[in-house]
Amino acid sequence: MTETLPYSWYTDADVFARERERMFEHSWLYAGHLGQLAEPGSYFTLRAGEVPLVVVRDREGELNAFVNVCRHRGSEVMAGSGSCTTLQCPYHAWTYGLDGALRAAPRAEADPDFDREPLGLRAGQVGTWGPFIFVNADAAAPPLADTLGPLPELVAEGGVDVDQLEFHSRGSYSLQTNWKVAVENYLECYHCAVAHPGFTELIDVTPDSYRLERHPTFASHYAPTRDGNAEGQFHLIWPGNKVNVWPGHANLSIGRLVPVDTGVTEGFLDYFFAPEPDPDWLEGFFELDSQVGAEDRELVESVQRGMRSGAFEHGRLMLPSEELIQDFQSWVAARLA
């Protein structure tokens, strides 16, 4: 397939709704890091497509993920993040344990047919890779290891021991573009020589040096420095999880793209570094990272405006430079079929 997906798929509300349901509600999504759930009772919330989730550490130290919807009348149970002893709905105070079981429902004794047993919170799945927490709203989905595949080994072979990394900060952003445009921009470096002068000053982006690698559940870039002394890695875990390893002091940034509307995408990256990075290197790292992000914002928002214009029905992929986009678009089409 060299013809792109129809441009209408990037602006159509029905397509967008089906994508959120069929992809994001049944896929592993990066949710946060273990430092956010260090103590029993610590929790945070997120959404997988339309499904609200809460991730909590129970009293035995286990991580649990639940659909964050009360079994009484459908209110969201928890909001934001914090620490708790129970999960209590703010509407009628139905109260769940950190294991998801319904513990109390006011006035239940007046209803002779009331049975708490089947009314616990619906379970999702939670999994970890080093300090990174992933969730899946689908309790029947294959385990996280099936999605990660050889990715942990590839990162380790690149010189990063994720268990030695320390959380530094989170950077959030919002883009006026469809989530697929943002993913496709991430999946190719055909544009790098034109749009990212700072990146190409550091990285050799010529086709013979800059490598793309296809995998069943993720896609990879290998980015050697121009001096040949180091190599970066950039991975996209379907459908929209980014894993970035820049050359230099051991580092990894990881986050996800969140589809908000047909032309609005939010995202974040959690930045991790090996202990005691050089302050000057760290300053340069964030300067280049921010520069590339700003340049990409202009690109993807321009693409969305062009698609929305209706001037053309399709585009045309340039292979092999955009072969990872070809895989991604085939993946999207199969799930919408």
**Sign of CA pseudo-dihedral 268, 181, 16, 177:** positive
Q: What is the DSSP annotation of 159-217?
A: T--GGG-EEEEEEEEEESS-HHHHHHHHT--TTHHHH-HHHHHHB--STTTSEEEE-SS
Q: What is the pLDDT of residue 309?
A: 96
What whole-number percentage of the chain has pLDDT above 70? Answer: 100
Identify the helix (H) or strand (E) that includes residue 146.
helix 144-148
Domains along the sequence of the chain with CATH: 29-140 (2.102.10.10), 149-336 (3.90.380.10)
Q: Average pLDDT, stretch 187-208? A: 97
pLDDT, position 267? 98
Residue 239 pLDDT grade (very low, low, confident, very high; cuts 50, 70, 90): very high
- pTM, two decimals, is 0.96
Q: What is the per-residue pLDDT across 252-303, written as a single tens digit (0 to 9) for each?
A: 999 999 999 999 999 999 999 999 999 999 999 999 999 999 999 999 999 9
Mean pLDDT for the chain overall: 97
Instruction: Assign 243 a pLDDT band (cuts: 50, 70, 90).
Output: very high
Say if residue 198's pLDDT is above 80. yes
Q: Determine the average pLDDT of the residues in 115-128.
A: 98
pLDDT higher than 90, residue 1: no
Q: How confident is the model at residue 54 (pLDDT cuts 50, 70, 90)?
A: very high
> Token pair of 117, please?
């047993």
CA distance 289 to 253: 10
Alpha-carbon distance of 271 to 167, in angstroms, equals 6
User: Residue 66's pLDDT band (boundaries 50, 70, 90)?
Assistant: very high
| pLDDT for position 9 | 98
